[in-house]
Structure formats: C-alpha cells, structure tokens
Amino acid sequence: MTTLYVYPDTDPGQATRIEDDAEIAARLANAGIAFERWDASRELPAGADQETILAAYADDVARLQRERGFTTADVVRLSPDHPQRAEFREKFLDEHTHSEDEVRFFVEGSGLFCLHIGNEVLGLHAEAGDLIAVPAGTRHWFDMGPAPFFAAIRLFTNTEGWVARFTGDGIARRFPMLDELPGPAS
C-alpha cells in the first residue's frame, strides 16, 4: 500500500502516516510534488530488460514525453539477488538534487522516495502504479531496501540521464530506511 510519512526534519521519531491516495496527492501537491496513481498491470516476464519494460509502457512514456518535454527514458530494475544491490542502494541514499525534474513511474515492486521540503521530510513508500514528479532542485533521497524489488521508468530532459548533486547533509541517514518504516498505529 502506498504510504506517505510526514516527519519534522528534526525528529525522525514523529511520523504522521497517510494512506489515502487522494490525501497523499494533495499533501505532496502542497509541497510542489506531483503524485498520481497509474495502471501498472502489464505482465512483465522475470528478468525483463529495459527495452521490454519500455515497450510495455510505450504509450504512457510517449504521453509524458509529449506533455513535459522529456527526451529520454530508461528503466532501473533491481531484484533481491542482484549482485550489485548494496552498491546501487548506497548510490541513492544520500540527500541530493537534480538540475531537472525527476520523474519516476513505478511499474513493479516498491521503494522509499524521501523529500526534504522546508522543515519537513516526506517519505513516500511508493509501489507499482505510483508516478512521482519532483521539481528540479528539490532535496531528496531514495531507498530500495537491503533486498530490493522494484522497476521504475525514469524520464529525463538531460540526455546524460541521472545526474545528482549531493548536498553533503547527513539528514538521510537519520530517518527510517525502507526496512525500518513505522507500522500502523495500534
């Protein structure tokens, strides 16, 4: 289930948990982040490569490219047995920004997309069907967990693809990671 955790940026122990898609979309929109639920029901074979995944979602990718001016798309897909899963996880864990909008459409599995907006941290536990569009310059990080299982289509205007500028702030390491998220209140 898609869940948004809202924390004060000074207290990773004080999370407000939001599970309603409309409420998640409204809360993220207030922070300048676009969130939509899309159909991610295409059957992907085990080990599907980038071309297969992009072909399965070609209409969605083409629409986003037309609407937002993206010039390129790729797929990041990791499974629990990927030999470089620890290195890939580490690559995205530190707070960073991009000079262009970051758009991700999760077509399989889940991951934790965290945004540092003002004096809050918004942790979106995104799952298949979630589309998130983060404006250029937004401080954020991503955690795929120690046993990742996800595939996300990424769209870019920069033909170089994913280019990060790390902030040097250690905030990401102070907040719960994917495997440490708080459960529902009892």
pTM (predicted TM-score): 0.92
Cβ proximity of 119 and 161 under 8 Å: no
On the question of pLDDT at 185 being above 60, the answer is no
The per-residue pLDDT for range 79-109, each reduced to its tens digit, is 999 999 999 899 899 999 998 888 999 999 9
The per-residue pLDDT for 164 is: 81
Could you tell me the pLDDT band of residue 163, with boundaries at 50, 70 and 90?
confident
Q: Report the 10 Å Cβ neighbour count for 64.
A: 19
The per-residue pLDDT for range 26-44, each reduced to its tens digit, is 999 999 999 999 999 998 9
Q: Angle at Cα 18 formed by Cα 21 and Cα 120, nearest 5°?
A: 115
DSSP string, 107-158: EEEEEEEEEEETTEEEEEEEETTEEEEE-TT-EEEEE--SS--EEEEEEESS
The per-residue pLDDT for 35 is: 97
Domains of the chain, by residue range, sit at 3-165
Closest CA to 61 of 40, 46, 77: 40
- Show contacts of 14-21: CB within 8 Å, 24+ apart: 15/123, 15/176, 15/182, 17/182, 17/184, 17/185
Q: For domain 3-165, give the CATH number.
A: 2.60.120.10
On the question of pLDDT at 159 being above 80, the answer is no
On the question of pLDDT at 182 being above 80, the answer is no
**Mean pLDDT to the nearest integer, 44-53:** 91
The per-residue pLDDT for 102 is: 87
On the question of pLDDT at 184 being above 80, the answer is no
What percent of the chain clears pLDDT 70, i.e. is strictly above it?
Answer: 95
Locate tokens 């990060």: which residue?
Answer: 164
Could you tell me the pLDDT band of residue 56, with boundaries at 50, 70 and 90?
very high
Average pLDDT of the chain is 92
CA–CA separation, 119 and 126 (whole Å): 22
Residues paired with 132 in a beta bridge? 35, 104
The per-residue pLDDT for range 118-141, each reduced to its tens digit, is 999 999 999 999 999 999 999 999
